[in-house]
Amino acid sequence: MIARDSSLPDGVRAELDQLSELQLNDPAWLDFVATATEATVFHLPAWTRVLADTYRYRAVGLATVDEQGRVTAGAPFVRVRRFSGAAWVSLPFSDHCPPLALDRASLGGLAAALSGWTASQGVPVEVRGALPAMPGCQNVAVGVRHVLALDRGVDALRKGLSDTHRRRLRQAEQEGLQVRFGQTAEEMDDFYRLHLLTRHRQGVPVQPRRFFRAIWQRMIAAGHGVVVLVETPSGRSLAGAVVLASKGTAISKFQASDASGWELRPNHLCYWAAIRWALETGHRYFDFGRTETRHAGLQQFKAGWGAEPIPLTYATTGGGGLDVDGPGLLDAAVRQVIRRSPAVVCRTLGSLLYRFAA
């Protein structure tokens, strides 16, 4: 329990006494997440379990609860250990996981309670979404999400593409590339091969294979998404995406490709296929995921699909700088080492470092 703070308004103080740690399978927590209109795929207990299983994080739902035992506000959290110390994060490796609340007053109560939680635990709290402004809480602009509304239908969506995207998509189709929508472990392994190629090319460590196997088991196989693969007529995979979906929104979480096939424009066909999959399976929005402020070229690429940029803000309590999935973990020199080393170096560094980069 969190001690009362007499400096807070009565409506907020009433919530502070009720901050609770809820297990992910607690019926009250499951009901709250299932009915919350602002919930994303990253609020699903299955996603939190992916992170906890892969990196051995302690996972809980931190929530305010009323006298009837009903959750009024909350978010899933895991306790991570960084090189700089421990932190509670909601959630690492998640683009947009804002705190959920029944109303604005409940959200304010949660923000105040989290500040108290920070003080009692002695560790900072980070939320992949905004919190109401109050002492001890800092909101930081980290970039944008590009979100495409799908209510116009496939023909209108295609007409809404930039001239460059339409031309390259047409080229990919004329080259005879094929699309496969997969939900098997083998298809996730096909994607992982492309993911390793991409991370090695970028000079960035790759998440361990067990991370993607957990995504397949708990998310894809459970009906919360699909693996999109673009192949040559002979069956060679050139590009792929892992799309996660819930509550009417499909999000392109991971994308990868084989640079040797770029002249065939497989990436454009991959994105278009993922958009069509989202539309045809009844989703209302397609989310291209987070793009950091400094990546202007990537923002332009995503806007070319007709998607609207939405400012993305993360919140912290308890001081300390915001650490978004380990920015600055590797400097330029180390990136060059990864690019020039065998792929096993990329995989080994990922297995060692990503647990501490959340």
Per-residue pLDDT, 9: 39
> How many angstroms separate the CA atoms of 274 and 289, rounded?
13
> How many angstroms separate the CA atoms of 357 and 263, rounded?
34
What is the pLDDT of the chain when averaged over all its residues? Answer: 88
Percent of the chain predicted with pLDDT > 90: 72
Under the banding of pLDDT at 50, 70 and 90, the label for residue 2 is very low
CATH of 10-144, picked from 3.40.630.30, 3.40.50.920, 2.30.29.30, 3.10.450.50, is: 3.40.630.30
Kindly write down the DSSP assignment for every residue of 165-198, as one continuous string: HHHHHHHHHHTT-EEEEE-SHHHHHHHHHHHHHH
Which residues in the chain are classed under CATH 3.40.630.30?
A: 10-144, 151-283+328-356
Predicted structure pTM score: 0.88
Per-residue pLDDT, 350: 67
pLDDT tens string 157-194: 999 999 999 999 999 999 999 999 999 999 999 999 99
Is residue 128 within 8 A of residue 251, CB to CB? The reply is no
Q: What is the CATH number of domain 151-283+328-356?
A: 3.40.630.30
Q: Is the pLDDT of residue 5 over 70?
A: no
pLDDT tens string 234-251: 999 999 999 999 999 999
Under the banding of pLDDT at 50, 70 and 90, the label for residue 84 is confident
- What are the residues whose beta carbons fall under 8 Å from the beta carbon of 132, sequence distance 6 or more? 104, 107, 108, 111
Per-residue pLDDT, 17: 43
Q: Is the pLDDT of residue 24 over 70?
A: yes
More confident residue, 137 or 39: 39
Q: Is the pLDDT of residue 4 over 60?
A: no
Q: Is the pLDDT of residue 349 over 80?
A: no
Per-residue pLDDT, 341: 77
More confident residue, 78 or 347: 78
Q: Poorest-confidence range of 175-179, 204-208, 254-258, 283-287?
A: 204-208
Q: How far is CA 251 from the centre of its chain?
A: 8
Q: Give me the mean pLDDT over the 33-62 stretch.
A: 95
Q: Is the pLDDT of residue 88 over 60?
A: yes
Under the banding of pLDDT at 50, 70 and 90, the label for residue 330 is low
Q: Poorest-confidence range of 248-262, 280-294, 337-351?
A: 337-351
More confident residue, 135 or 159: 159
Under the banding of pLDDT at 50, 70 and 90, the label for residue 10 is very low
> How many angstroms separate the CA atoms of 355 and 334, rounded?
18
Q: Is the pLDDT of residue 15 over 50?
A: no
Q: Is the pLDDT of residue 94 over 50?
A: yes
Per-residue pLDDT, 270: 98
Under the banding of pLDDT at 50, 70 and 90, the label for residue 357 is low
> How many angstroms separate the CA atoms of 91 and 253, rounded?
14
Within 10 angstroms of residue 115's Cβ, the number of other Cβ atoms is 22
Q: Is the pLDDT of residue 58 over 80?
A: yes
Q: Give me the mean pLDDT over the 320-326 stretch.
A: 55
